[in-house]
Amino acid sequence: MPESVYIVNEIVGTSDKSWEEAAKKAIETAGKSVKDLRIGEVVKQDVTVENGKVTSYRVRLNISFKYHAKK
């Protein structure tokens, strides 16, 4: 098996429903423009609070995808 190189970038997803939905939306959106997306790792979660109530969820993810050299 040949060796591979991967690139790691940080993305942020948001949702008004859950952290899981925020992560899913972020990964699915990134997957539309990133070739060979392999891993999504949640590195931080937080919420927005207004008047004592949670109004949105935010997830910071590291994503990795395979590096393809230009030919």
- For the stretch 5-33, pLDDT in tens is 899 999 999 999 999 999 999 999 999 99
In a domain, 31, yes or no: yes
Please report the pLDDT score of residue 24 as a whole number. 97
In a domain, 71, yes or no: no
Specify the number of domains making up the chain: 1
pLDDT at 2 over 70: no
- For the stretch 36-58, pLDDT in tens is 999 999 999 999 999 999 999 99
Token match 């109004």: residue?
55
In a domain, 6, yes or no: no
In a domain, 12, yes or no: no
**Dihedral, CA of residue 43, residue 62, residue 42 and residue 12, to nearest 10:** 90
Long-range contacts of 27-31 (CB under 8 A, 24+ apart): 27/61, 27/63, 30/63
pTM of the model: 0.84
In a domain, 22, yes or no: yes
Count Cβ atoms within 10 A of the Cβ of residue 60 and give its class: 0-12 exposed, 13-18 middle, 19 or more buried.
Answer: middle
In a domain, 24, yes or no: yes
Q: Which domain holds residue 22?
A: 17-62
